Structure 1
Amino acid sequence: MGFPHIHMKSKTPNHLNLKLLFLGIFIAFLLLFALRSNLSSPQQNISPIPQGPSSKTSIEEIQTNPTSSKKCPPQPTSSCTKIPPALVQALTHYATSNITPQQTLSEISVTSKVLERKSPCNFLVFGLGHDSLMWAGLNHGGRTVFLEEDRAWIDQVKSKFHSLETYHVVYDTKVSHADDLIKVGQLEECTAVGDTRFSKCQLALKGIPSDIFEVEWDLIMVDAPTGYFIDAPGRMGAIYTAGMMARNRKEGETEIFVHDVDRMVEDKFSKAFLCEGYMRQQEGRIRHFTIPSHRDSLSKPFCPQEN
């Protein structure tokens, strides 16, 4: 995720395997969708797309795709059993595309397995890439939001995939600031649980839409902003903010995924602010953390005590 030339690079050795993965995932998902259409189950509380003056002035909304909350009748009609247009578009795109997303088959599987269990849900993704249509499709019926730093890349993706809900964000850090910022993160104002919008911590992101903080995200993926050169914004603030959003939710837990943990920033900051004690899995360059709400017990340590 990040700059277009990174996303559009073809990686032919893994292309066939990834294409088979996409096809397998979507075929399985479509079968599951068909089965669900014949069953009646309670709907999860999916956060609506924000409306009102604040969303018009503080964010750039590419396009929204409101999800219907209607249930299928006991005898499904054609509208209930028909494959949703977004899934048709995703399946067609990945079956015909020659572009391979940055994540490998095994890395994608880490998140897709959690989505299979938790969707439909609220899924926040730092970054917009060639895998975005897949994530939105796998969370069919939920809300998937993408935060992207590059306006030109947003416009390019918008021209192809109108249904993706994407917002432009601004970062004011650089990878060269990482050593200082990891020390700042240990200060009391950075470890106190609260609404990140009002945090005095230097790591707390201020350049993302305020409305994003009003949603309790079930999954958060950090695969942006750009962090592969010293003057790039780096993912220090994104990792920290994701962890604090998880701690500040009213109840329950948040699944957080960090990609590119082979790099210094992603490695050190995920361990420091998402906590090794909360880490569930690492596969290749992706780590999976499960962070519970801290609001039910403000005396809970920032990171769990290690045995």
Structure 2
Amino acid sequence: MPELPEVETVKRGLAPAMEGASIARLELRRPDLRFPLPENLAEVAAGRRILSLGRRAKYLLIDLEDDLTIIAHLGMSGSFRVESGGPAAAPGDFHHPRSKDEKHDHVVFHLTAESGPLRVIYNDPRRFGFMHLWKRSELDTYPAFVGLGPEPTGNALDADYLARRLAGKSQPLKGALLDQTVIAGLGNIYVCEALWRAHLSPRRKAGTLVTPTGRPKKELLLLTEAIRAVIADAILAGGSSLRDHIQTDGSLGYFQHSFSVYDQEGEACRTPGCGGTVARIVQVGRSSFYCAACQK
């Protein structure tokens, strides 16, 4: 499933085509994806201008006029592509085949932009993605957003905040960081990578990174910086392109080639001078990859 950097990549790829354009017609080629599409989605969206594109955690936000937002989730295999008359551009080397079968084109935004008419097409072979319609002024009440923690890319995430959330917790650090009420959108891949960068074991009790007076220890300062850095690096690289994720121009992200520990079971640890080997364990139903020699 696409993680936060992949969704951010999609948002940035779609923004030049969609922001400021008007929806001439929203074509729904089936009544449902993972969940039923809103019954009035096509009628409500038609004729409205797209004000901006945003993201909350792993959700894409398409903000329309009149206080409306289309909330989209890519699921396992969802992707967008932009067409402006000719064939969709698809540059890049493909590590995982992208779906080109039009029978999986389920939602089509027919747009009118300054550059002329274009189409933004949502393709989803497995149909695990979904779209909902919500009032923009009430996004905090959307069920998936209620109680979400701060974004790992924003200024609200700092060591003092994490110290307050982790203080007294005996829960393993990996599970605490996957809690979306602690940090929104931080998924399994990037938790593994951040813990490796900070030299912290996923097994370590979360509360041990906080002093008895509630202040962040040095290790928590390093972890906070590692989380922010690994997300920034992944966004810069265009996402990890695991499984079916693709960028909106058809190219794939290449952050997967920069993985230092994720999916590296049995490989030598890349920490200089470590000499350890990457191991895999299962925590909260997810694979954790780490080096026991240097992650304490």
Normalised TM-score (structure 2): 0.27
Larger % of helix: which? Answer: 1
Choose 1 or 2 for highest CA Rg: 2
Normalised TM-score (structure 1): 0.26
Q: Which has the higher contact order (CA 8 A, sep 6+)?
A: 2
